[in-house]
């Protein structure tokens, strides 16, 4: 990259899902207009742009799964579908005049800390790239599909795709389709495609716990009321939020009490599946809640249809057009749909970020991700992650966490401004360790640590993905940036503001 060709911005945001667009709105509201949002795809929307599989719907009620500063009285259903949510995000771009800041088809290939200039060099796949005082990484945890390395898959003669890369040009009608996985995506796909396909074989490695879903159309009268009397929409949101806050303790402190929820899930299964053998295969043997609890009214009924087989074993190998499960069961297929999730604990963007020590974030995180207040990794100054380590939720809306992280971002920028001159803030390793210790201590009692193994846990068995508390607690923890938790970096010989000089000596 030639220095003179690069443009400098105050802030570079990476990603344009809820996190990236939320950051953009917040920057504008803080009076920061010198920023760009770098997006590798040709449109905004993040996971809600990429996941277009049949039946894709959100399992968090719409009135909570939206920004607090941009209520949408027109949500069509209590649980909205992908297109409504994607439309909402496009609407956010227009309402908050974000389009001039967007750089679409602009994939960030490398981020390198420039210690001489105290700023980030941002290389992109096309164009000269950027330099930025601050980088906000909002690439999300559900952006890079994870496909298991199944022996023989390359020799499969049919069609293969992942749930988040749905091939709409491929007609599944009349085909023998294998769906791999039984997570939140797969259980929406199965009932959506079952009526059309000739044969559907579901490879289930672990049966999920499934609860009823109380989805319904939001009436025109409700929409009218929410538009005319916004307090009613706020009340609706507040109620949904409050109920979910009250549930958190069951996951984090009293996992045994989740037994009661298991009985509701069992009765849901019993009502839908009369065949005892199939029911046995679909009955989980681990504590509910340690994997994401799924909501569906049509998943179990779809599995009882005559054109569906449930193989209670993971996909282990492929031999030509024959799929072989770990228990030896074989099935013929014309197409394979992987509903096998995402790279959550090994975020691919981390390989591309080189910090103060010349190491990548992936190298620093090789023993597990950790970031102060879910945002700042030591050795990566002026770099904040939105939806970072231990910020995920088991039962509520990620938008609440994202907005809390944006409060932290806003205070980070304010504090940088008060330092005067060119400065950077680098999380102290001791502060990151102390934060992480607290989080991991709280994690010990949770259902995620005691209930089962899941993708919430990394290769070392540590939960580096979820926040072990309520959203209000997280909001409180991220309301302000504590300067004592950071090292202040300055260019040699730069002027020091009196307050900053005091902090720097701590």
**Contact positions vs ligand NAP (CB under 6 A):** 57-60, 142, 148, 163, 180-186, 203, 205-206, 292, 314-315, 339-342, 455
Q: What are phi and psi of 334, to 5 degrees?
A: -95, -25
Q: Which is nearer to ligand NAP, 32 or 184 (CB)?
A: 184
CB of 142 to ligand NAP, least distance (A): 5
Q: Which is nearer to ligand NAP, 122 or 295 (CB)?
A: 295
Q: Which is nearer to ligand NAP, 116 or 149 (CB)?
A: 149
The three-point CA angle 115-118-121 to 5° equals 80
Rg of the chain in Å (alpha carbons):
24
With CA atoms as reference, report the closest residue to 120 among 8, 45, 242.
8
CB of 52 to ligand NAP, least distance (A): 12
Bridge partner list, 325: 315
Judge whether 384 and 486 are in contact, CB under 8 Å.
no
Bridge partner list, 294: 210
CB of 170 to ligand NAP, least distance (A): 19
CB of 265 to ligand NAP, least distance (A): 16
The SS3 assignment for 455 reads coil
CA distance 17 to 13: 11
CB of 466 to ligand NAP, least distance (A): 10
Judge whether 232 and 208 are in contact, CB under 8 Å.
no
Q: Which is nearer to ligand NAP, 181 or 388 (CB)?
A: 181
The three-point CA angle 342-344-349 to 5° equals 100
- Number of residues in the chain: 506
Q: Which is nearer to ligand NAP, 200 or 419 (CB)?
A: 200
The SS3 assignment for 374 reads coil
Six token digits for residue 259: 């037994």
Q: Taking every pair of C-alpha atoms in the chain, what is the biggest distance, in angstroms? A: 77
Q: Which is nearer to ligand NAP, 314 or 429 (CB)?
A: 314
CB of 393 to ligand NAP, least distance (A): 9
Write the CB contacts of 442 (distance below 8 Å, at least 6 apart in sequence): 252, 468, 469
CA distance 389 to 370: 6
With CA atoms as reference, report the closest residue to 377 among 391, 392, 388.
388
Q: Which is nearer to ligand NAP, 75 or 342 (CB)?
A: 342
Q: Which is nearer to ligand NAP, 23 or 399 (CB)?
A: 399
CA distance 502 to 506: 7
Q: Which is nearer to ligand NAP, 182 or 382 (CB)?
A: 182
CB of 402 to ligand NAP, least distance (A): 14
Bridge partner list, 336: 160, 178
CA distance 311 to 190: 14
CB of 472 to ligand NAP, least distance (A): 21
Q: Which is nearer to ligand NAP, 26 or 292 (CB)?
A: 292
CB of 206 to ligand NAP, least distance (A): 3
CB of 209 to ligand NAP, least distance (A): 11
Judge whether 383 and 433 are in contact, CB under 8 Å.
no
């Amino acid at each position: 990259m030639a220095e003179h060709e690069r443009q400098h911005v105050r802030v570079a945001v990476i990603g344009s899902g809820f996190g990236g667009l939320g950051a953009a709105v917040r920057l504008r509201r803080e009076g920061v207009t010198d920023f760009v949002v770098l997006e590798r795809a040709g449109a905004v929307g993040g996971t809600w742009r990429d996941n277009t599989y049949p039946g894709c719907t959100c399992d968090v009620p719409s009135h909570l799964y939206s920004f607090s500063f941009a209520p949408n009285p027109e949500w069509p259903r209590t649980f909205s579908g992908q297109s409504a949510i994607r439309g909402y995000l496009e609407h956010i771009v227009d309402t908050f005049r974000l389009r001039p800041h967007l750089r679409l088809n602009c994939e960030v290939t490398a981020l390198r800390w420039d210690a001489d200039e105290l700023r980030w060099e941002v290389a992109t796949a096309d164009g000269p790239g950027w330099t930025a005082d601050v980088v906000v990484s909002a690439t999300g945890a559900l952006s890079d599909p994870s496909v298991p390395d199944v022996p023989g898959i390359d020799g499969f003669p049919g069609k293969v795709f992942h749930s988040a890369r749905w091939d709409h040009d491929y007609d599944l009608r009349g085909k023998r389709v294998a769906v791999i996985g039984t997570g939140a995506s797969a259980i929406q796909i199965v009932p959506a495609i079952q009526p059309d396909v000739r044969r559907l074989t579901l490879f289930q490695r672990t049966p999920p716990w499934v609860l009823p879903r109380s989805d319904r159309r939001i009436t025109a009268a409700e929409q009218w009321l929410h538009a005319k009397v916004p307090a009613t929409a706020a009340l609706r949101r507040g109620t949904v939020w409050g109920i979910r806050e009250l549930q958190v303790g069951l996951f984090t402190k009293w996992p045994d009490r989740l037994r009661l929820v298991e009985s509701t899930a069992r009765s849901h299964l019993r009502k839908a599946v009369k065949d005892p053998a199939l029911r046995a295969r679909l009955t989980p043997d681990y504590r509910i809640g340690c994997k994401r609890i799924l909501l569906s009214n049509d998943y179990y009924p779809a599995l009882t249809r005559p054109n569906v087989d449930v193989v209670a074993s993971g996909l282990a190998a492929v031999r030509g057009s024959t799929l072989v499960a770990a228990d030896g069961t074989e099935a013929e297929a014309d197409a394979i749909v992987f509903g096998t999730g995402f790279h959550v604990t090994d975020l691919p963007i981390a390989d591309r970020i080189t910090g103060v020590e010349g190491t990548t974030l992936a190298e620093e995180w090789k023993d597990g991700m950790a970031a102060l207040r879910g945002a700042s990794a030591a050795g990566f100054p002026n770099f904040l992650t939105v939806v970072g380590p231990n910020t995920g939720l088991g039962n509520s809306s990620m938008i609440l966490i994202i907005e809390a992280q944006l409060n932290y971002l806003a205070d980070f920028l304010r504090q940088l401004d008060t330092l005067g001159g060119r400065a950077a803030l680098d999380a102290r390793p001791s502060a990151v360790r102390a934060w992480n210790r607290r989080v991991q201590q709280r994690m010990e009692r949770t259902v995620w640590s005691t209930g089962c193994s899941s993708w919430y846990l990394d290769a070392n068995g540590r939960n580096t993905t979820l926040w072990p508390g309520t959203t209000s607690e997280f909001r409180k923890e991220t309301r302000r940036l504590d300067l004592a938790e950071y090292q202040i970096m300055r260019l040699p010989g730069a002027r020091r503001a009196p307050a900053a000089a005091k902090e720097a000596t701590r």
